[in-house]
């Protein structure tokens, strides 16, 4: 990885719920930030800069909300930035913040990502008709379902694969008290019998709409060495984007994702991700994206992702647990979901994942987020040991 060593030394997360009516937007982000600062053994005055990220402003109706949130996040008198890279934003915000430390600009950076979806309706917020543009067909599900069908056609995956992921991630979430969905009775039959939204996606194949926030404190090597709790060292971080309207794109297995993973693994010295990661927290908002991203991230050959899922390899007790926290399928504060992935990966290698802690062998974990029309990717590798 380029630049100075950087570590995650504090992680804070709100409980994710359908509607956090008990807090304002400022209260929501502050709840996560306070927990992260406490984890890092810091107070507001220790922080050099604040980087905030979230998905489209129309999800809450506040334009450039870093301005309104400057006070709540203790940023007054300090540098503050706002990142927005669509669904990948939680990941890219973490990376922008980490680069401030890697570049030697700052020693201690607080980064926060949030969404308070109950303030509006994301599906319709995504579906504003724009002049001269193809409509987004009623939200993200309408966009991604045809890509999923293309994946099924290419790979020959049987129809129940998505439902297996839907059950696996919801059962994992039962061990995560902060997860939005706790569905103790879920099984293959309930998913199959839930109503059809966008073929082949049924209601329970789809992520919830959540209010929630995630916060990380990032520190330089000197700061991390003195941190009260174990750091998660960043071994690599990468972002890639590709254009929307380009006939050469493969939206099912996007080049940007493959390039991003290749760059990331080169930085982190990863040659076999399935063997070298203890866990992966990957942006799976629709169940079928687990097998699709297994392939895109190089955990298996193209066309084989669904076989890993079917064999249980990605379950919490499998050889490569994916989304042991319950993942996006169990909590989806959109703008925060990427940072939740990055932060949950950090918690695993810090040994602080509570009841959903995986067994640490290599001490390395992957965080991934994607956004737009499968065109924006951000990823990082965190490790228990220094890179």
Partner 1 sequence: MRDVAVVSFAYSAVAKDVLHNEVEMIVPVVREAVAVSGIPREDLGFVCSGSLDYLQGGPFAFVMGLDGVGAWPPKRESHVEMDAAWALYEAWVAIQTGEVDSALVYGFGKSSTGDLHEIMTLQTDPYYVAPLWPSMVDMAALQATAYLDAAGFDETNLAEVAVRSQRNGTSNAHAVRAAGDATIDSVLAEPVTHHPLRDADIAPITDGAAAIVLAAGDLARSVCARPAWIRGIEHRIEAHGLGVRDLTRSESTELAARAAGIDEFPLDVVELHAQFSHEELILADALRLDGETDINPSGGPLAANPVMSTGLIRIGEVARRITAGEAERGLAHASSGPCLQQNLVCILEAE
Residue 20's alpha-carbon distances to 112, 124, 137, 170, 217, in angstroms, are 17, 20, 28, 21, 23
Identity of the residue, 255 or 362, whose beta carbon is nearer to partner 1 in the bound complex: 255
Report the nearest approach of partner 1 to the CB of residue 156 (Å): 28
Identity of the residue, 250 or 304, whose beta carbon is nearer to partner 1 in the bound complex: 250
Report the nearest approach of partner 1 to the CB of residue 263 (Å): 8
CA–CA dist 181, 211 (Å, integer): 12
Identity of the residue, 98 or 315, whose beta carbon is nearer to partner 1 in the bound complex: 98
CA–CA dist 217, 37 (Å, integer): 7
Report the nearest approach of partner 1 to the CB of residue 289 (Å): 19
Residues that bind partner 1 (CB under 8 A): 2-3, 24-25, 55-64, 66-71, 75-86, 92, 96, 99-100, 102-105, 125-126, 128, 130-133, 238-246, 248, 254-256, 259-260, 372-373, 375-376
CA–CA dist 261, 273 (Å, integer): 10
Identity of the residue, 92 or 325, whose beta carbon is nearer to partner 1 in the bound complex: 92
Identity of the residue, 133 or 272, whose beta carbon is nearer to partner 1 in the bound complex: 133
The alpha carbon of residue 196 and the mean position of all alpha carbons in its chain are separated, in whole angstroms, by 26
Tokens 């030697």 sit on residue = 104
CA–CA dist 148, 352 (Å, integer): 34
Identity of the residue, 212 or 373, whose beta carbon is nearer to partner 1 in the bound complex: 373
131 token code pair: 């002049």
Report the nearest approach of partner 1 to the CB of residue 50 (Å): 8
Report the nearest approach of partner 1 to the CB of residue 62 (Å): 5
Contact 290, 284 (CB under 8 A): yes
Identity of the residue, 162 or 371, whose beta carbon is nearer to partner 1 in the bound complex: 371
- DSSP 8-state assignment for residue 195: P
316 token code pair: 């919490």
What angle do the packed helices 289-296 and 139-155 form, to 10 degrees?
60
Identity of the residue, 121 or 357, whose beta carbon is nearer to partner 1 in the bound complex: 121
What kind and span of H or E run contains 307? helix 305-311
Tokens 């509607």 sit on residue = 19
CA–CA dist 195, 209 (Å, integer): 17
User: What is the DSSP pairing of strand 364-371 with strand 196-198?
Assistant: unpaired
Report the nearest approach of partner 1 to the CB of residue 271 (Å): 21
Report the nearest approach of partner 1 to the CB of residue 29 (Å): 13
Report the nearest approach of partner 1 to the CB of residue 292 (Å): 17
């Amino acid at each position: 990885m380029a630049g100075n060593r950087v570590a995650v030394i504090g992680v804070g997360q709100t409980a994710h719920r359908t509607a956090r009516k008990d807090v304002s937007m400022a209260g929501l982000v502050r709840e996560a930030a306070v927990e992260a600062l406490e984890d890092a053994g810091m107070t507001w005055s220790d922080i050099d800069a604040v980087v905030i990220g979230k998905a489209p402003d129309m999800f809450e109706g506040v334009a450039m909300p870093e301005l309104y949130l400057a006070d709540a996040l203790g940023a007054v008198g300090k540098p503050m930035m706002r990142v927005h890279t669509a669904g990948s934003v939680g990941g890219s915000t973490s990376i922008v913040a980490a680069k401030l430390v890697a570049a030697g600009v700052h020693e201690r950076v607080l980064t926060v990502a949030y969404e308070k979806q109950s303030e509006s309706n994301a599906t319709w917020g995504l579906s504003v008709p724009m002049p001269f543009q193809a409509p987004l067909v009623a939200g993200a599900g309408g966009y991604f379902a045809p890509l999923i069908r293309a994946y099924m056609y290419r790979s020959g995956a049987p129809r129940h694969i998505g439902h297996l992921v839907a059950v696996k991630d919801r059962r994992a979430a039962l061990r995560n008290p902060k997860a939005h969905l706790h569905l103790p009775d879920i099984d293959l039959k309930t998913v199959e019998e839930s109503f059809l939204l966008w073929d082949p996606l049924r209601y329970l194949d789809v992520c919830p709409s959540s209010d929630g926030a995630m916060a990380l404190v990032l520190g330089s090597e000197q700061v991390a060495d003195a941190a009260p709790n174990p750091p998660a060292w960043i071994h690599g971080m990468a972002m890639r984007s590709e254009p929307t309207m380009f006939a050469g794109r493969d939206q099912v297995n996007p080049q940007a994702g493959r390039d991003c993973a290749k760059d990331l693994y080169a930085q982190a010295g990863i040659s076999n991700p399935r063997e070298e990661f203890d866990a992966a927290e990957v942006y799976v908002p629709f169940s079928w994206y687990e097998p699709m991203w297994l392939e895109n991230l190089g955990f298996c050959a193209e066309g084989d992702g669904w076989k890993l899922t079917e064999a249980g390899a990605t379950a919490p007790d499998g050889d490569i647990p994916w989304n042991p926290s319950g993942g996006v399928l169990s909590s989806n504060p959109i703008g925060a979901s990427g940072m939740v992935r990055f932060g949950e990966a950090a918690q695993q290698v810090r040994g602080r994942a509570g009841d959903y802690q995986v067994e640490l062998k290599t001490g390395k974990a992957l965080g991934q987020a994607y956004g737009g029309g499968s065109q924006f990717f951000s990823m990082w590798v965190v490790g228990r040991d220094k890179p």
